[in-house]
Amino acid sequence: MAGVDVDVGTELRLGLPGGGAEAAKAGKRGFEETIDLKLTLPTAGMEEAAAVKTEPAAEKTKRPAEAAAADAEKPPAPKAQAVGWPPVRSYRRNVMTVQSVKNKKEEEPEKQQPTANAGSNSSAFVKVSMDGAPYLRKVDLNMYSSYKDLSIALKKMFSTFTTGNNLNEGKLVDPVSGADVVTTYEDKDGDWMLVGDVPWEMFVESCKRLRIMKSSEAIGLAPRTKDKCKNKS
């Protein structure tokens, strides 16, 4: 899996960080559903299937790892939902869904649930840490519409701490020979990913916190090349 030995404890886990074993079981099921529904990717054995460039590379690298572990503890397929069951009024359901989308993006929620994302009209604050900086910052991802905007903002925010180096932008830059720092993010699964691989909207939805680290530390994260299938073995 990932050679990312950052302090986040990215041991292979089902479910979302913060949840207990139960949360892992139940929560993961929902997440897999989401993946299947949204990306229509098969769940297992797709690593060989060529680098389909349209696929977000990040999702793909996680997929084999997920599938492998998920087989061990594959939850039963969810039943077809019945209309009006459980008996909770739609007004209440909608309010709770919007709230949980908001809470997801804030720090340390007590409980995580992968919910349908109503998302982009609420705020999406995530913590940003930079190695060597004495304190953290927070940015609202919904304020920006592209990686470029975000990197400009981050640069401004942390300009006092850097020597003005470029942050990693977009998928095509090779971070090893390029900038001195790279921006990484922790996604819903607790994995640390390189910023810039997935479409912006998907990034906003899945990003939980950002970390700007020295590119020398980020070797394990970087894609080998942009063409090969990105494997985070």
Partner 1 sequence: MSEEDEDQPPPPKRPRASPPADQVLDNVLETVLQFLDAPGDRSAASLVCRSWHRAESATREAVAVRNILAASAARTARRFPRARSLLLKGRPRFADFNLLPPGWAASAFRPWAAAIAAAAFPALTSLNLKRIPVTDADLELIARALPATFLELSLLLCDGFSSHGLASIASHCRGLRVLNVVECDMAVEDEQEVVDWVAAFPPDPTDLESLSFECYGYAVSFDALEALVVRSPRLKRLGVNQHVTLGQLRRLMTHAPRLTHLGTGAFRPADGGDEGIDFGEMVTAFANSGRGRTLVSLSGFRDLAQEYLPTIAVVCINLRTLDLSYAPVTPNQIVMFIRQCFNLETLWVLDSVRDEGLETVAMYCKKLRSLRVMPVVANEDADELVSEVGLAAISRGCRDLRSILYFCQSMTNAAVIDMSRNCPELKVFRLCIMGRHQPDHETGEPMDEGFGAIVQNCSKLTRLSTSGHLTDRAFEYIGKYGKSLRTLSVAFAGNSDRALQHILQGCSKLEKLEIRDCPFGDAGLLSGMHHFYNMRFVWMSGCNLTLQGCKEVARQLPRMVVELINGPPEDERTEDVDILYMYRSLDGPREDVPPFVKIL
Binding positions for partner 1, rule: CB under 8 A: 19, 22-23, 26-27, 29-30, 78-79, 81-93, 95-96, 99-100, 102-103, 110-111, 113, 115, 123
Nearer to partner 1 by Cβ, of 72 and 82: the residue is 82
Nearer to partner 1 by Cβ, of 74 and 226: the residue is 74
Q: Taking the chain, what is the end-to-end CA distance rounded to the nearest angstrom?
A: 3
Least distance (Å) between residue 191 CB and partner 1: 21
What is the phi/psi pair of residue 212, to 5°?
Answer: -105, 120
| 59 phi-psi bin (left φ>0, alpha ψ -120 to 50, beta other) | alpha
Least distance (Å) between residue 67 CB and partner 1: 19
Q: Which amino acid is at 225?
A: T
Beta bridge pairs of residue 125: 140
The per-residue DSSP string of 137-195 comes to: EEEEGGG-SSHHHHHHHHHHHTTTTSSSPPPP-STTS-TTTS-SEEEEEEETTS-EEET
Least distance (Å) between residue 133 CB and partner 1: 22
Least distance (Å) between residue 139 CB and partner 1: 14
Nearer to partner 1 by Cβ, of 102 and 226: the residue is 102
Nearer to partner 1 by Cβ, of 79 and 224: the residue is 79
Least distance (Å) between residue 189 CB and partner 1: 17
Nearer to partner 1 by Cβ, of 119 and 175: the residue is 119
Nearer to partner 1 by Cβ, of 6 and 26: the residue is 26
Q: Which amino acid is at 71?
A: D
Burial class of residue 142 (count of CB atoms within 10 Å of its CB; 0-12, 13-18, 19+): middle
Ranges of H-type helices in 84-144: 90-104
Residues in the chain: 233
Least distance (Å) between residue 88 CB and partner 1: 4
